[in-house]
């Protein structure tokens, strides 16, 4: 009887290892047999069956050797090395990694082993693994793959605290990237290296590589691909803190729509980085109104998170799209309540043009004020609500908060007001629902008083 991989793994997870291995060994295709046996070995490791896992890995290696396709065989050995490193079997992982024929896979496996050794605080062996990974990467014939492998190793070294050595490896990656013939691939490789250099503290060098990435992007013949590449570089520059360079990069995009979208992403990223003035300047460069509105809405949100409420209101007021402007003002108003700026919250909500949205915002503000014990201001906010359903709901919430605060007489008075407002709701179903909810809340409050 033949079993599917999922069934074999299920057997292993239930602890039926002998049956699982028997089933896996019957699989004719070497690649599938390898995958099944590897899964079984990994399950064994998870449940602490270390010795049995080591035996299973021998079967995994045998299956991997039977794989005829060199690329698939290399990938299989890479997976084995990674699994062993993850399990702390470093000697075996090194041995397997050295048997990997494909230099790209060998380089990747050795990098993974190095990272596992760093986690295990085996610094000297990690250094050796990084060294071997670099050697393997340098032997990769394809310039794009060589550049990518070296960059990945360098980033792992930065995480391991080996920044100085990582910078040397990034320079090797840069040299490889310059040899990439295809403009798109060269642009992407250079952008990623520049990002890595910026993170590693090589700001000046990163800026130089960003410029070369821009040059490569401008060589891309397809207009859409060119625009996309330029946008990605501009956004990467923002992440690296190079805001003015990012705007310059975006301005090189010929397509107005793509340029607007890129400038929007840049402006938002600037705002999130706290560069509010530059973010505003970037929005002025956006040609399309919808992109500009969307950018200003997200900028306003970033300002709210930073506690810059006055600036957030200014940003929201500049939003041309009515719906985006309403949403921004509503969010600002709610955030102001949470920050304890109650009167400004009410003022901001009153600027919302749409009556229903304005009512909803004031309702939320009134509820938040009541919860904060600001009953007089909460009642002021409730009085500003035009929609009868929202006003009755707000008054009910204030009454509940008053009852919870021990102010029962005042609570009953507000419940009465809420009922009177609910009686004016036009829609019959909504009116009945509101009246029922208010009466139920009032009954609960009376029981609490008793």
H helices of 288-371, where? 289-305, 309-317, 322-338, 342-350, 355-371
Mean pLDDT computed over 426-436: 90
Question: How sure is the predictor about 1, in pLDDT bands with cuts at 50, 70 and 90?
Answer: very low
Mean pLDDT computed over 48-54: 80
First to last CA, the chain: 73
pLDDT at 102: 92
Phi, psi of 293 (to 5 degrees): -65, -45
Q: What percent of the chain has pLDDT over 90?
A: 36
Instruction: Give the tokens for residue 177.
Output: 């990237």
Mean pLDDT computed over 183-212: 94
pLDDT: which is higher, 165 or 16: 165
HEC letters along 185-238: HHHHHHHHHHHHHHHCCCHHHHHHHHHHHHHHHHCCCCHHHHHHHHHHHHHHHH
Contact (Cβ atoms closer than 8 angstroms) between residue 349 and residue 382: no
Mean pLDDT computed over 135-159: 95
**Least confident residue range of 93-107, 315-329, 356-370, 388-402:** 315-329
Is residue 450 predicted with pLDDT exceeding 70?
Answer: no
Give residue 157's Cα distance to chain centre: 23
Q: pTM here?
A: 0.68
pLDDT at 150: 96
Mean pLDDT computed over 26-51: 83
Question: How sure is the predictor about 185, in pLDDT bands with cuts at 50, 70 and 90?
Answer: very high
Q: Tally DSSP H helices, then E strands, for the chain.
A: 25, 0
**Count of residues in the chain:** 450
pLDDT, tens digit (0-9, with 9 covering 90-100), for 363-384? 888 888 888 888 998 898 899 8
pLDDT, tens digit (0-9, with 9 covering 90-100), for 212-251? 999 999 999 998 889 889 989 988 998 888 888 888 888 8
pLDDT, tens digit (0-9, with 9 covering 90-100), for 255-298? 888 888 888 888 888 888 888 888 888 888 888 888 888 888 88
> Which residues in 345-356 are b (16+ Cβ under 10 Å) and which e?
bbebbebbeeee
pLDDT, tens digit (0-9, with 9 covering 90-100), for 67-76? 888 888 898 8
């Amino acid at each position: 009887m033949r079993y599917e991989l999922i069934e074999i793994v299920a057997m292993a997870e239930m602890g039926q290892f002998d049956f699982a291995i028997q089933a896996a060994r019957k699989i004719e295709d070497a690649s599938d047999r390898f995958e099944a046996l590897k899964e079984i070995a990994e399950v064994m490791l998870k449940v602490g069956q270390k010795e049995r896992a080591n035996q299973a890995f021998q079967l995994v290696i045998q299956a991997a050797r039977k794989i005829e396709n060199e690329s698939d065989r290399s990938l299989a050995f890479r997976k084995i090395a990674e699994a062993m490193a993850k399990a702390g079997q470093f000697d075996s992982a090194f041995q397997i990694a050295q048997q990997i024929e494909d230099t790209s896979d060998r380089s990747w496996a050795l990098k993974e082993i190095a990272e596992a050794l760093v986690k295990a605080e085996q610094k000297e062996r990690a250094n050796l693994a990084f060294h071997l990974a670099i050697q393997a990467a340098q032997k990769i014939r394809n310039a794009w793959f060589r550049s990518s492998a070296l960059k990945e190793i360098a980033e792992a070294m930065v995480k391991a605290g080996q920044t100085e050595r990582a910078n040397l490896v990034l320079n090797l990656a840069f040299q490889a990237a310059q040899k990439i013939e295809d403009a798109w691939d060269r642009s992407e490789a250079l952008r990623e290296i520049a990002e890595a250099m910026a993170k590693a503290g090589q700001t000046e060098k990163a800026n130089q590589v960003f410029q070369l990435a821009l040059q490569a992007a401008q060589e891309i013949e397809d207009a859409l691909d060119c625009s996309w590449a330029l946008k990605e570089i501009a956004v990467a520059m923002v992440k690296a803190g190079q805001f003015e360079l990012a705007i310059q990069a975006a301005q090189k995009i010929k397509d107005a729509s793509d340029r607007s979208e890129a400038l929007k992403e840049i402006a938002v990223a600037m705002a999130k980085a706290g560069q509010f003035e530059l973010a505003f300047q970037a929005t002025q460069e956006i040609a399309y109104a919808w992109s500009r509105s969307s950018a200003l809405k997200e900028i306003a949100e970033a300002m709210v998170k930073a506690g810059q409420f006055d600036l957030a209101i200014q940003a929201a007021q500049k939003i041309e799209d009515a719906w985006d402007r309403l949403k921004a003002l509503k969010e600002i108003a709610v955030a102001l309540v949470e920050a304890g700026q109650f009167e400004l919250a009410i003022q901001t909500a009153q600027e919302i043009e749409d009556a229903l949205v304005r009512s909803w915002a004031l309702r939320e503000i009134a509820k938040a004020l009541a919860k904060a014990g600001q009953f007089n201001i909460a009642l002021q906010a409730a009085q500003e609500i035009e929609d009868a359903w929202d006003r009755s709901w707000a008054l009910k919430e204030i009454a509940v908060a008053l009852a919870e605060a021990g102010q029962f007489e005042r609570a009953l008075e507000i419940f009465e007001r809420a009922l009177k407002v609910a009686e004016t709701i036009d829609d019959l179903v909504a009116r009945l629902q509101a009246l029922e909810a208010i009466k139920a809340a009032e009954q609960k409050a009376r029981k609490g008083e008793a």
